[in-house]
């Protein structure tokens, strides 16, 4: 089964997005929310979502709490868990954030998950995701879920949900990535999570890289995990007053309950599994 056949048109779309960068038109907050709501309701219909309070409910509670401590606390934040082994997360403008089951399973404690949630929330707060969507729109790219993200071809391309979504929403610049990391550290401290979780998650991913390259492909495409990037986050944390880091949580009882619930969950639908991951 050829993955590259599916990726070529996506790469073209990405190139179009980059070219369209200069034609950026600003979006009002109302438009941003409307755009995000429309798109996320299509995603919610198309994607297999995990509807389990111990999993989705917990992610939503932690994500909503983090979002409430940002500079844009009033967006209609919503956090969903997608039932796929692909390790990834992405943000839709307006505050609609998707985290894949595979990411939760790859994590080792809740501060790692909180780190990724805070990073995606930061893309929304800093309007990176709105800019991406506006860019796609001014390039005349159809934003229908059916068109690129989840329509034809099925199979590998659908399992690569992270890949399609990344091309639309997560092709952020290095500057945007590093801004999202900096903001995330602040949000984590404010919401009582150890910001080291973000660094530890990077390390967890690096360890997984050789074992599960297919599961990580989409994530590494949108979030190149360079030494620079990890060092940058470490430096931000090191500059924080020691006081502010005291007593921050790294995990929780609910996290362990969530991991147990994930173990009991049947495998994702076949086209959302990663080749070689589940025998
Ligand atoms: Zn990012």
pLDDT tens per residue, range 131-161 = 877 776 666 554 544 333 333 334 434 444 4
- DSSP at 55: I
Strand partners, 98: 80, 90
Strand partners, 82: 49, 100
- For ligand 1, the distance from its centroid to the CA atom of residue 131, given in whole angstroms, is 13
Q: Which residues surround ligand 1, an ion (CB under 5 A)?
A: 180
Q: How confident is the model at residue 228 (pLDDT cuts 50, 70, 90)?
A: confident
Indicate if 120 belongs to the active site: yes
- Name the residue with tokens 């199979």: 155
| pLDDT above 90 for 109 | yes
CA gap 69, 77 in Å, rounded: 12
- For ligand 1, the distance from its centroid to the CA atom of residue 242, given in whole angstroms, is 27
| pLDDT above 50 for 91 | yes
Do 38 and 154 contact (CB within 8 A), yes or no?
no
- pLDDT reported for residue 225: 73
| pLDDT above 80 for 9 | no
Task: Calculate the dihedral angle through the C-alpha atoms of 143, 146, 150, 156, rounding to the nearest 10 degrees.
Answer: -120
Q: Which of 112, 120, 177, 217 is catalytic?
A: 120
Q: 37-51, 146-160, 215-229: which range is least confident on average?
A: 146-160
CA neighbor of 149 nearest in space, from 258, 14, 2, 58? 14
Helix ranges (DSSP H) in the chain: 4-19, 29-46, 58-67, 101-106, 110-125, 128-138, 156-159, 161-169, 174-190, 196-208, 213-222, 227-239, 242-245, 253-264
- pLDDT reported for residue 210: 82
Residues 260-272 have pLDDT tens digits of: 999 999 999 988 8
Q: Which of 60, 181, 194, 217 is catalytic?
A: 181
Indicate if 217 belongs to the active site: no
- For ligand 1, the distance from its centroid to the CA atom of residue 219, given in whole angstroms, is 9
CA neighbor of 115 nearest in space, from 103, 126, 127, 125? 103
| pLDDT above 70 for 174 | yes
Report if pTM > 0.85. Answer: no
Mean pLDDT score across all residues of the chain: 81
- For ligand 1, the distance from its centroid to the CA atom of residue 279, given in whole angstroms, is 31
- For ligand 1, the distance from its centroid to the CA atom of residue 222, given in whole angstroms, is 7
Mean pLDDT computed over 90-117: 94
Domain locations in the chain as residue ranges: 26-125+170-266
| pLDDT above 60 for 5 | no
Residues of the chain with pLDDT > 70, as a percent, come to 76
Q: 30-39, 127-136, 172-181, 244-253: which range is least confident on average?
A: 127-136
- Identify the three-state secondary structure at position 89: strand
Do 59 and 117 contact (CB within 8 A), yes or no?
yes
Q: How confident is the model at residue 4 (pLDDT cuts 50, 70, 90)?
A: very low
Q: 124-128, 194-198, 247-251, 274-278: which range is least confident on average?
A: 274-278
Q: 32-36, 180-184, 223-227: which range is least confident on average?
A: 223-227
- Name the residue with tokens 């919401």: 191
- Identify the three-state secondary structure at position 84: coil
- pLDDT reported for residue 207: 86
Strand partners, 99: 81, 89
- For ligand 1, the distance from its centroid to the CA atom of residue 223, given in whole angstroms, is 6
- pLDDT reported for residue 86: 86
């Amino acid at each position: 089964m050829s993955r590259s056949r599916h990726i070529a048109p996506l790469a073209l779309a990405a190139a179009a997005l980059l070219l369209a960068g200069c034609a950026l038109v600003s979006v009002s907050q109302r438009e941003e929310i409307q755009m995000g709501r429309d798109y996320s309701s299509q995603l919610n219909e198309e994607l297999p979502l995990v509807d389990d309070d111990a999993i989705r409910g917990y992610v939503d509670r932690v994500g909503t709490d983090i979002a409430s401590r940002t500079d844009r606390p009033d967006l209609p934040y919503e956090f969903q868990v997608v039932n796929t082994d692909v390790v990834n997360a992405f943000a839709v403008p307006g505050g609609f954030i998707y985290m894949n089951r595979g990411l939760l399973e790859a994590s080792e404690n809740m501060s790692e998950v909180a780190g990724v949630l805070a990073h995606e929330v930061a893309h929304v707060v800093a309007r990176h995701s709105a800019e991406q969507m506006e860019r796609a729109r001014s390039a005349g790219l159809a934003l229908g879920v059916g068109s690129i993200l989840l329509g034809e071809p099925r199979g590998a391309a659908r399992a690569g949900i992270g890949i399609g979504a990344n091309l639309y929403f997560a092709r952020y610049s290095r500057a945007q990535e590093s801004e999202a990391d900096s903001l995330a550290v602040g949000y984590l401290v404010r919401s009582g999570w150890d910001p080291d979780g973000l660094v530890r998650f990077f390390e967890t991913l690096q360890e997984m890289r050789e074992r599960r390259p297919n599961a990580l492909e989409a994530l590494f495409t949108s979030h190149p995990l360079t030494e620079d990037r990890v060092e940058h986050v470490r430096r931000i944390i090191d500059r924080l007053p020691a006081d502010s880091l005291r007593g921050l949580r790294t995990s929780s009882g609910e996290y362990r309950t969530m991991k147990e619930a994930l173990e009991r969950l049947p495998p994702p639908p076949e086209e959302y599994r990663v080749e070689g991951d589940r025998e």
